[in-house]
Amino acid sequence: MRKYEVMFIIRPDVSEEDVDKVIAQMESAVTLHGGKIEKVDKMGRRRLAYRVARCREGLYVLFTLEGTGDTVKELERRLKVSDAVIKFLTVRIDEELERAEKWKALRAKQAVRKPKPPAPATPGAEMQPIPVKE
């Protein structure tokens, strides 16, 4: 099972209920094809950086899900077919998360090794009072 993030944009002129309907439909597409939805995030209305299907605005929705290639394939097919959805992007995130973990661990390891050098900073401070006394 892999982790994916699927973001899609719904036309701004779709009514609230229809938006929820579209989202529910997409969720079922995932669950029916061996996937598991982890999070659904309605990011709300945003200005698009360029016009898409004659729209300047769009409703962003973000799915975080776990599934196989077939799950995503089916979801993307549904997104493509749906008239309300004007754009979508799928990103596989499990590898990225793993890499981030690795870097974090590496940094933690280095932090354990490093703390000693900053300590001898105090001798420098001791040097100064001596000329002042004289």
Partner 1 sequence: MSPRRGTSRQGDRSARPAGAQSGPRKQYFRRRRVCKFCDEKLDVIDYKDVKVIGQFVSERGKILPRRLTGTCSPHQRLLAVAIKRARNIAFLPFAAAL
Interface residues with partner 1 (CB under 8 A) are: 7, 9, 48-50, 52, 58, 60, 62, 87-89, 91, 96-97, 99-100, 103-104, 107
The least CB distance from residue 25 to partner 1, in Å, is 20
The least CB distance from residue 68 to partner 1, in Å, is 22
Chain centroid to Cα 38, Å, comes to 12
The least CB distance from residue 83 to partner 1, in Å, is 18
The least CB distance from residue 133 to partner 1, in Å, is 38
Q: Closer to partner 1 at the Cβ: 4 or 88?
A: 88
Q: In the structure encoding, which two tokens stand for residue 46, read together?
A: 């945003």
Q: Closer to partner 1 at the Cβ: 32 or 97?
A: 97
Q: Closer to partner 1 at the Cβ: 112 or 130?
A: 112
Residue in 67, 66, 77 with CA at minimum distance from that of residue 26 = 77
Looking at 82-117, list the stretches that DSSP marks H as alpha helix, in order from N- to C-terminal side.
Answer: 94-113
HEC assignment per residue over 30-73: HHHCCCEEEEEEEEEEEEEEEEECCEEEEEEEEEEEEECHHHHH
